[in-house]
Amino acid sequence: MKQRNASIMKKLVLGLLLSVSASFSATAAEYEVDIKGMHAFVQFRIIHLGYSVMLGRFNDFGGKFNWDKNNPGASSISIDIKTDSIDTNHAERDKHLREEEFLNVEKYPNATFRSTKYHGDASGGKMDGMLTLHGVTRAITLDVKTIGEGDDPWGGYRAGFEATTSIRRADFGMERDLGPAAETMDFELFIEGVRK
């Protein structure tokens, strides 16, 4: 009798665990970054000679992320950027920035970010990861804020986030002297994804 009760109890516990696991898995989702709809942006800013601010962006990039507001610690993101798509609203300057002393896009056509760990809750937190830029890979941290999520007018489901970080150019092998105020660059990412 005891053995039969123990067997029944094991089955009940196993069934409960499987049910919880299935419920948890059902809430996790993969999102494709919405580039086609122009609802995602990778922007940067840098001080120009200590007198002004230069703004720019990368127009060609893509990626995906995993997001579950009930388990934000399991979130991850992967972004790939085509460096020759740099755009500072000045064709000659962009041509210069693509050359060897800056991005060297012929040798390093891609920049990537691969997350390693998210620390925070559903409203925001910090995303650790590895940034590869100009052939150098280094750990960075993004400050992340959740913008929102929900149904869209086309029958899909979307989630959007804002992230910011700063890097030292010299850490990524770009040592052209642009003045002390230009040693760092600030990045802003606005990522909106469509759930698959």
Q: Judge whether 110 and 83 are in contact, CB under 8 Å.
A: yes
pTM over 0.85: no
From 13-27, 56-70, 95-109, 162-176, the region with the lowest mean pLDDT: 13-27
Averaged over 68-94, what is the pLDDT? 96
Residue 21: pLDDT above 90?
no
Task: Name the residue with higher pLDDT: 49 or 110.
Answer: 110
Beta pairing partners, 32: 64, 194
Residue 19: pLDDT above 70?
no
Q: Domain 28-195: what homologous superfamily?
A: Lipid/polyisoprenoid-binding, YceI-like (2.40.128.110)
Q: Judge whether 128 and 117 are in contact, CB under 8 Å.
A: yes
Nearest CA-CA partner of 74 in 141, 121, 21:
121
Q: What is the pLDDT of residues 83-111, one digit of tens each?
A: 999 999 999 999 999 999 899 999 999 99
Q: 172: which 2 tokens?
A: 């990524």
Q: 132: which 2 tokens?
A: 């590869």
Residue with tokens 């948890």: 24
Distance between CA atoms of residues 193 and 196, nearest Å: 9
Reported for 142-146, long-range contacts at CB under 8 A and 24+ positions apart, including other chains, are: 142/189, 144/118, 144/120, 146/122
Type of residue found at 155: G
What are the extents of the domains in the chain?
A: 28-195
pLDDT of residue 3: 56
Q: Judge whether 125 and 162 are in contact, CB under 8 Å.
A: no
List the end-to-end C-alpha distance of the chain, in Å, as a whole number: 49
pLDDT of residue 16: 39
